[in-house]
Amino acid sequence: PDGEVLRINHPDGSVESFTYNALGQVLSHTDGKGQITRLSRNARGLPTRREDAKGKAVAYQYDKAIRLTALVNENNATYNFVYDNAD
């Protein structure tokens, strides 16, 4: 896809950059200090894992309705999400 931001040059000389998949979804972001955050995505393009420059990761799980059902944070704490029939 066209139109994605590949690079941002800041007035202080720092540079941010981004990489994308074929669907135009962000796969990585390099901040002005050169630290990279990476995203893994499933076949539907939903993020399944985010890993920061220090290797700290957050994992995401979804149900068949594409709703977030669980998040496991960088401290390995799990947060579960339950939806009622109206959702």
pTM for this one? 0.81
**37 CB contacts (<8 Å, ≥6 apart)?**
28, 29, 31, 50, 51, 52, 53
pLDDT value at 2 more than 90: no
pLDDT value at 19 more than 70: yes
Q: Are 63 and 57 in contact (CB under 8 A)?
A: no
First-to-final CA distance of the chain: 31
Q: Please provide the average confidence, as pLDDT, over all residues in the chain.
A: 94
Name the residue ranges covered by the structural domains of the chain.
7-80
d(CA 82, CA 87) in angstroms, rounded, equals: 10
Output the pLDDT for position 85. 84
- pLDDT tens per residue, range 61-80: 999 999 999 999 999 999 99
